[in-house]
A and B are shown apart, each in its own frame.
Chain A
Amino acid sequence: MGTDIVHMEPIAGTPWLMAAHTNYDLIKKEFNLIRRNYILGSLVLGFLIALAASITARRIARIFEARIEKKNLQLAKSYAELKDLHNVLKNQKEEIETQNNMLVSQKDIITRQKDDILASIEYAKRIQDALLNSEKSLDKHIANYFLVYKPKDIVSGDFYWSREVNGNIYVAVGDCTGHGVPGAFMSVLGITLLNEIVDTTNCEKPNEMLDELRHRLKKALNQKSWELDNSDGIEMALLKYSSSDSTVQVAASYQSVLIYSNGNLQEIKGDRCPIGVCFGAEKNFNTHIFRLNAKTTFYMYSDGYADQMGGENNKKFYSRRLKDLIASIGNKDLDEQKTILNTTIEKHKGNRPQTDDIILLGVRLS
């Protein structure tokens, strides 16, 4: 192992040179020793740093992992709750769908039943129309008249009837208890009984006919007393016109008959006794007799016109107003009167439903 001269310095005033020797190999060897120790130290230090860093990192990570675990637990709980809710909603949806299907099928059944019922009622109307005297029949017996006839439903509890017997003309307007199908049944019964009375009895006066009608109706309905039985019945006005002596006889149950003649309107109030079972003692009906001296118009009507709800305050039309209206139009042509009465009640009703069956028959006699 040799040394190398790394520097030579001349010494002034002498023949000498000062030489500096260095042993490179030894320096290298020493440095390699330093390198080895440095690396070993670094490895040990690195290991310790790695260990400390790992532990510290894990401890810090544990803090965040604990938070994440807590959040995960909350999320799992929320998820479970949502899942339960989802199942509940799913069950409810299935139940609603089942109910909906059931409702749809029930609706179909109800629709079919409604169609069947409507068809039956339509057929019943045909029967009622056949039993009712048609306006053509009225034409045959009465020369001058008008009719306002508005069933609330397809069939009506209000009816009109007319017959000619021995040169006398009978005209009746009836209002049966209820409306619709029950009213129609009663009206059919009333018409049938009136025809029977005319055909099979000797009753000629209107009051006698109403008495007989009441008797037969009670019998038909098996009504014995007001307390025990149903109070179904008919309110009716019956008019008999004898052209031979120009007299008019009027009998009425509850219904009023208005008489317009020479600009005056007179009201004949019906007896306060129903055609049917009576509250209290039963009284015979009365007949009012009029001799026609001039052109006279008789108005027979049910309470449907006066009871119709409507107007700005949704109130009844009222019979007082009806009387005033008739008094104001009584001298007009009957067709015009019909138009005015129709228009007035429709305007009063507006878009509201009809309250009851309406019938109003005007007969002009002279």
Chain B
Amino acid sequence: MKANQYVYTFLGVSLSIFIIGFIGITLSLTFIERNYVDIQLDVNKRHSQSMAKLLENEVSMGLDLDTIRTRFQKSIEGTEYEKGFLCMFDTGDASLACHPNASMIGMVMPNASPSIYQAK
């Protein structure tokens, strides 16, 4: 009798926690997921803006463009690029000027699908 009371109490409390937890976790994970992606995007955006500003400074200091491009390529080359990365396009022919994967340099970015690069 006493054991049954413990079981019933446990089941009752568990069911209550499960229902409350399910609703709470679902809502909170949805919110966290949205924020997590936004943060990732924002971090990459700020990163690209910072690097653009840095290169602009180097240009304003009188460094020639080729040196700047070479130094930037060296700084990003070989870094992990699975999750996200910075690259630089040449607006003249829409080709990659710098990329962590050096083999990608010179590839052209199609208008329709900017995530797919094509060789010149």
Q: Determine chain B's interface SS by DSSP, over half rule.
A: helix
Task: List residues of chain A with CB within 8 A of the CB of B40.
Answer: 22, 27
* Chain A residues within 8 Å of B, Cβ to Cβ: 1-24, 26-27, 30-31, 34-35, 38-39, 42-43, 46-47, 49-51, 53-55, 57-58, 61
What 1/0 flags go to B84-120 for Cβ under 8 Å of A?
A: 1111111110000100000000000000001110000
Q: Which of B25, B59, B85, B116 contacts A11 (CB 8 A)?
A: B59
Complex interface: chain B residues within 8 A of A57 (CB): 9, 13
Identify the closest chain A residue to B21 (Cβ): A46
A-B pairs with lowest CB-CB distance, top 10? A20-B48, A20-B44, A54-B10, A7-B45, A9-B52, A18-B52, A13-B59, A50-B14, A22-B84, A54-B9
- Distance of A19 from chain B, by nearest CB (Å): 5
Q: Check B56 against A7 for contact (C-beta < 8 Å).
A: no
B84 touches A21 (CB 8 A): yes
Q: Answer whether A12 and B59 are a contact pair too, CB < 8 Å, given A19-B87, A21-B81, A27-B36.
A: yes
- Nearest residue (CB) in A for B36 is A31
**Number of A-B residue pairs having CB atoms within 8 Å of each other in the complex:** 139
Contacts of A38 in B (CB 8 A): 25, 29
Docked pose: A24 CA to B40 CA in angstroms: 9
- In the complex where A3-B84, A27-B37, A27-B40 touch, is A15 in contact with B10 (Cβ < 8 A)? no
| Residues in chain B near residue A6, CB distance under 8 A | 41, 44-45
Q: Is the CB of A21 within 8 A of B86?
A: yes
Chain A nearest CB, measured from B49 CB (Å): 5
Minimum C-beta distance from A29 to chain B (A) = 10
How many Å lie between the Cα of A47 and that of B18 in the bound state?
9
Known: A21-B84, A21-B86, A58-B6. A47 touches B25 (CB 8 A): no
**In the complex, what's the smallest C-beta–C-beta distance from A366 to chain B, in angstroms?**
118
In the complex, chain A residues whose CB is within 8 Å of the CB of B82: 1, 23, 26
A273 to B93, CA, bound (A): 177
Whole-angstrom CA separation of A15 from B98 in the bound complex: 13
Given contacts A11-B59, A13-B56, A23-B82, contact A3 B51 (CB under 8 A): no
Q: In the bound complex, how far is the Cα of B37 from the Cα of A91, in angstroms?
A: 88
Min CB distance A323 to B, Å, is 102
Known contacts A4-B114, A7-B48: A17-B81 contact under CB 8 Å: no
Given A11-B52, A19-B48, A53 contacting B13 (CB threshold 8 A): yes
Complex CA–CA separation, A208 to B113 (angstroms): 173
